[in-house]
Structure 1
Amino acid sequence: MHKVSPHQDSTFLHTDPMNIVGFWIPLEDATEENSCLWFIPGSHKNGISRRFVRNPIGPSPPTIMTGSDPEFDNHKFVAAPVMKGSLVLIHGEVVHRSYANRSKKSRHVYTFHVVETANTTYSKDNWLQPTEELPFPSLY
C-alpha cells in the first residue's frame, strides 16, 4: 500500500459552509505496523490553504491545485490505531495521513465522504461533480 501524504479532505471537496465528513472503516485492524491513520489534533481549526479544482482555463490538465502547499510539523502527528469494524469520522479540515504499509499484514478499509446538503453550497469548481446520469446519492 502506498503512503497517503498529509492532506485535508476539504481541499478536494469544498462546501460553504465547510461540512465534509469522511467515514473511514477498517476491514482489518489498523496498527502503526500496517499503516494506521495519523492526525494533527486541532488542525481542523486552521482552515485550508489550497484547493483541488477543475481547470478554469481549459481541458488540459483537467484539474489543478490552487493556493499554497502547506508544510506540516511531523512532530504534531498522532497515531490513531483502531480495530477492524471501528468507525473513524474525519472532519474535512483535519490534517491526516498514513505511511506506506511495509508490513506483511494487509490493511483494507472502506471509506466515503458525506456532505450535509441543507443550507450548503457544493462548490461548482470541485473536481468531482454530480451529473444527471450519476447524481450524488442521498442518505435520507
Structure 2
Amino acid sequence: MQTLSDRPTARTFRATDSGLTAEMRAAFETDGYLVIEDFVPMDLCDRLMARATELVGGFDIEAHRTVFSTKSVAHATALYFQESGDAIRFFLEEEAVDAAGNLTRPKELAINKIGHAMHDLDPVFSEFSRQAHLAALAKGLLQDPLLLQSMYIFKQPGIGGEVSWHQDSTYLYTEPMSCIGFWFALEDADSSNGGMLAMRGGHRGPLRQRFRRLPDGKLETEKLVTTPWLEKDVVNLDARKGSLVVLHGLLPHYSSANRSTRSRHAYTLHCIDGACRYPADNWLRRGDHLPLRGF
C-alpha cells in the first residue's frame, strides 16, 4: 500500500500574465486541477497571514465556540455556521476543545478556519482576491466568474483536522455545474503537514453528494451516489509557498490531519459562473446587502 509520500506528485506550471495558456487548459480538462508555482509574491502571502492573525486577535472566543469538522459535521446545526455566507466568522479545530467545551491551547492555535465572505468584507482579503492575473485566469475558465466563498485555513500544527474526500460542487452547486476553487499556499504544503491529494481525472465522474438547505432551514447531505470512493490515480498536490492550486468543482480531493510541528496556512476562493443558476437550496446564502461580484 502506498504511503502519502510514495504517491506521484502533480506536474506544475509557471504563472503567466496572460492567464490561462493552451497547455494549462488542456491539463485542467484532463486532470481536473492545475498547480501554478510563484503565482503570488511572498510578501503578499505574508500580508494575508498577518491580516488573518489580526482578525483572530479580535475574535471573541467566549461568544462563539463552533467546531468545524468534516467527520462529525456538527457545525451544520449551528446558526453561527448556517448564517456565515455573508459574514466573517471563526471555527475551531475539533482537537482544540475538550469534552467540557474548554480550549486546550491558545486561541491563535485553536482556529480551524475563517469564512466565508472575507473577499468582500475585508479590504486586505478583497485586494488579494481580485488580483489582475487571477481575474485573467478565472475568465479563461468561466464565462462570468463571480466570487462566492472565501476561507482562510490554518491547518494547525499537531491538530490540523483531516478533510475527507469531497467535491466542492457538493457545497456550491450550480446548474450546470460551474464551481472552481482557487487554493493559495501561504506556506509550503506537502505530505508531511497535511498537504492535499486529488484523484487525477476524477472530475469526469458524477457529483456524489449535495449539502443543501431544507425548507425548514436545516442543512443536510443528500447522497446521490452510494458506492464508496475508489481511490485511484491519486496524486500529491504539493504546493510551495506562493503557489496556486486550481480545482474543478467535481474533482475529488482530500487532506490528511497535520501531525507535524509545522502549520499549513492556505486561502481558498471559490468562484461560480454568473451564466449558471444558483439554486435557492444551496447552504451558502448571501443577503441582498451583499450581492455577488466578479473581479
Fold equivalence (TM over 0.5): yes
Q: Structure 2: which 5+ residue stretches go unaligned?
A: 1-159
1:133 corresponds in structure 2 to 289
Query: What does residue range 16-27 of structure 1 map to in structure 2 within 5 Å?
Result: 16-27=175-186
Counterpart secondary structure, 2:269:
strand
1:44 to 187, 203, 208: 203
Deviation (angstroms), 1:90: 0.5
Deviation (angstroms), 1:31: 1.1
Aligned counterparts of 2:161 and 2:226: Cα–Cα separation in 1: 20
1:105 correspondence with 2:270 = no
Instruction: Please identify which structure carries the higher helix content.
Output: 2
2:241 corresponds in structure 1 to 84
1:122 correspondence with 2:278 = yes
Aligned counterparts of 2:214 and 2:239: Cα–Cα separation in 1: 38
What amino acid is the match of 2:164?
Answer: S
- RMSD over aligned Cα atoms: 1.4
Counterpart secondary structure, 1:10:
helix
Deviation (angstroms), 1:42: 0.9
2:166 to 7, 12, 30: 7
Deviation (angstroms), 1:70: 4.5
What amino acid is the match of 2:182?
Answer: F
Question: Identity over the aligned pairs, expressed in percent?
Answer: 39
Q: 1:5 to 1:113 in 2, by over 3 A?
A: same
Instruction: Please identify which structure carries the higher strand content.
Output: 1
1:72 corresponds in structure 2 to 229
Aligned counterparts of 1:89 and 1:70: Cα–Cα separation in 2: 27
Give the TM-score, by structure 2 length. 0.44
Greater than 4 Å deviation, 4+ residue runs: none
Deviation (angstroms), 1:112: 1.2
Deviation (angstroms), 1:76: 3.7
Who wins on radius of gyration, i.e. which is larger?
2
Counterpart secondary structure, 1:44:
helix
Query: What does residue range 55-70 of structure 1 map to in structure 2 within 5 Å?
Result: 55-56=214-215, 58-59=216-217, 62-67=218-223, 68-70=225-227
Aligned counterparts of 2:174 and 2:264: Cα–Cα separation in 1: 30
Q: 1:18 to 1:75 in 2, by over 3 A?
A: closer
Number of residue pairs matched? Answer: 135
What amino acid is the match of 2:291?
Answer: P
What amino acid is the match of 1:132?
Answer: D
| Higher RCO, 1 vs 2 (CA within 8 Å, ≥6 residues apart) | 1
Q: Deviations over 1:86-132 (max 9, x none)?
A: 010000000001000100111000111001102x1012110012211
Counterpart secondary structure, 1:114:
strand
